[in-house]
Structure 1
Amino acid sequence: MITDPLFYAAAIPAVVLLGLAKGGFSGLGLLSLPLMALVLSPVQAAAITLPILIVQDAVTVWAYRRTWDRRNVLILLPSAVLGIVTGYLVAAQVSDATVTLAVGLIAVAFAVRRMVLERRATPPQAARADLPRGLFWGWVAGFTSMIAHAGGPPFQIYVMPQKLPRDVFVGTGAVFFAVNNWIKVPPYIALGQFSAGNLATAAALFPIAIASTWAGVHLVRRVSGEKFYTLVYILLVVVGAKLVIDGAMTLL
């Protein structure tokens, strides 16, 4: 188990961000891994983060157990599993930085375009949960989640145009990523990323993980549905821009 105070100085804010993201403030979680990577290798940071995410998923799924869209989850999951398997198979061949840069560019372009469209006199009508788009973005979400821990933006790109009620949007993401994170456990074990020390370190952070997730659930329910979507678009731009910067700097 890690005992270095410097690690916890970075890990505690990172876990709080993950909890707020799981509670409904989508996108904030992508800022947590870079924080932990300041004091650990990215691989070890990811190994410690996954058990924390699974615990937080349990809290979020319980909180939103009655408000999630079954059709969306059933469309997204099969291709997400294929995306995770693809990510595992090509992990050594595809640069994390390249994937990160691509996801960031797509996220920023999507969010800016949607914000422009939503401000028109006649904003676009809500999209339907259709199979072709869902299968594609489900695969992308699974792949980027496995390769670069960036499954949130592809999920949002598919689901946000449907204009689901706030709690249904958050609940659908909670169920989808809860299943995804469990599916990622065998590949992480196969890659040798779970050790007794890493698991013990993750367990030490569980109380903060649970408390911050409940805080996110309660805080997001104080935000109106319209303001919630505006906030998510803004967060998507910020997170997408950060992914672009991270990916570009690594490639350069």
Structure 2
Amino acid sequence: MVDLDLYFFCIAGPAVIFAGVSKAGFGSGAAFASATVLALVVEPGMALGIMLPLLMLIDVSSLKPYWRRWSTPDVRLLVIGGLPGVVAGALLYRVASPDLLRLLIGSVSVVFVLWRISLATGAVRITNERMPDSAGLLFGTIAGFTTFISHAGGPPASIFLLSRGLTKTQFQATTVILFWMLNIAKFLPYAALGMFTSQSFLANIVLAPFALLGTWIGVRAHHIVPERLFFGTTYVLLMVTGTKLIWDGLV
């Protein structure tokens, strides 16, 4: 049950705007923060079900400015790998309790932040060498799985794409088309698993303008907002909300 009250709007509205900004302007890597935030106020499965149609709306809205500017070979590799990952995510969801989902979503959020901090401090280094095509299949599978259970496919896809020598805009365009395709692949399993309800549909209608606003901001912010500022803010948000979800899942 989703209560479309002032409290819901205060949480969900900014979260959905943030998803639009991240997906349309910054390679989708932090858009899953929106599902993490929503999972604080509604049941995790409901949060995922609410966010998927909105993410698909953002995908469609983002396609035009990046049309045909993606790397087709890299998209192909990640999609081929991603589809089995989506299937694995669906199988896990069938047996997962709400608390297990909270733990998974929270853990993905916290691990993502720790990973980014490790990269920034030099504790972990990603090779500058171009990853082979087989790595695209592997990271595609990871992306498919994580995008199903928490809409967090951006980070594993980014690890692969950052090694492929893409320009900033080519990288962005590749993530837009990739997750447009993976989100379509997720839609039927989400429906079959009962993650869409009349309440989530009503929430989608109310939140759609927030998604479009975030997309509009993101496309423009892509050229003017420093990525370090955007992701620095994101990491704080993810660490706080992810830790809260882990605590809720445990207790």
- The reply to whether TM is greater than 0.5 is yes
**Cα deviations by residue, 1:6-54 (Å, 9 ceiling, x for unpaired):** 2112111111111111122344422212332333222212211111111
**Cα deviations by residue, 1:158-181 (Å, 9 ceiling, x for unpaired):** 222334211111111111111111
Q: How does 1:86-105 map to 2 (within 5 A)?
A: 86-93=88-95, 95-96=100-101, 99-100=104-105, 103-104=108-109
Shift in Å, 1:113? 4.8
Query: Counterpart of 2:134?
Result: 132
Shift in Å, 1:98? 5.4
Change (3 A) 1:147 1:222: same
Counterpart residue identity of residue 96, structure 1: L
How far apart in 1 are the matches of 2:92 and 2:216? 36
What secondary structure does 1:29 align onto?
coil
Query: Counterpart of 1:168?
Result: 170
Change (3 A) 1:46 1:205: same
Aligned partner of 2:71 among 45, 69, 75: 69
Query: Counterpart of 2:243?
Result: 245
The number of aligned residues is: 244
Query: Counterpart of 2:199?
Result: 197
Whether the 8 Å CA contact 1:12–1:205 is kept in 2: the answer is yes
5+ residue gaps, structure 2, are none
Change (3 A) 1:166 1:191: same
How far apart in 2 are the matches of 1:167 and 1:51? 25
Aligned partner of 2:216 among 200, 214, 217: 214
CA RMSD of aligned residues (A): 2.9
Change (3 A) 1:238 1:140: farther
- Decide which moves more: 90-99 or 13-22: 90-99
Change (3 A) 1:107 1:235: farther
5+ residue gaps, structure 1, are 118-122
